[in-house]
Amino acid sequence: MKAVGLLLALYLCLAVGLLAGCSSKKDVNSELQKAAAVMAQPEPAQEAPPAAEPPQQTPSAPAAQTTPVQTQGQEMNQAVAAYKAGELEDAVTRLQNLRHTPVMSAEKRMALNDAMAAMMTEIYARAAKGDARAIQAVKLAEQMQTQRH
């Protein structure tokens, strides 16, 4: 009898956990802000250059090392601003371009994917309700996705 009660309690906990996990809808603005904060951080590889290579410093070398990070952070901030301004196509374009950046830390890529997923979920919901801008943004996202593959 104890085994049945224990099994029932286990199933109940599992059901509560699944329902709580499935019902949590990610807020687009908070996901975009989290991703922007993560994208603003420098890449770990850039903080400590490899000691095996002899340092060949030129005036443009330090700027070249920090440019990709600044560009990613700026692009993310511009995508957030575009989304908040209702320019969904611009936001989709910027996030898709960031998504296809070849060099990005795992933490940044996960934050970007979470933000992109939350934003696209919101855009799909708006498109289903007939929002013309959202419909155009969905078409653009699908077009960009098929062009990359």
Distance CA 138, CA 92 (A): 9
pLDDT attached to residue 51? 45
pLDDT attached to residue 43? 72
**What integer is the mean pLDDT of 109-118?**
93
Is 57 part of any domain?
no
Is 101 part of any domain?
yes
pLDDT attached to residue 61? 44
Distance CA 141, CA 147 (A): 10
Question: Structural domain tally of the chain?
Answer: 1
| Cα→Cα distances 64→60, 67, 132, Å | 6, 5, 41
> What rounded mean pLDDT belongs to the chain?
76
Distance CA 87, CA 75 (A): 14
Is the pLDDT reported for residue 149 higher than 70? no
Is 41 part of any domain?
no
Contact 44, 76 (CB under 8 A): no
Is 77 part of any domain?
yes
DSSP secondary-structure letter at 40? Answer: T
Percent of the chain with pLDDT over 70: 63
The predicted-structure confidence for 43-64, as pLDDT tens digits, reads as follows: 765 544 444 444 455 444 444 4
- The lowest-confidence range among 16-20, 80-84, 132-136 is 16-20
Is 95 part of any domain?
yes
pLDDT attached to residue 62? 45
Is 84 part of any domain?
yes
- Confidence label for 7 from pLDDT (cuts 50, 70 and 90): low
Is the pLDDT reported for residue 112 higher than 80? yes
Is 139 part of any domain?
yes
Domain that holds residue 128: 27-36+66-149
**CB contact set of 132 (below 8 Å; sequence gap of 6+):** none
Backbone dihedral angles phi then psi of residue 49, each to the nearest 5 degrees: -70, 150
Is 43 part of any domain?
no
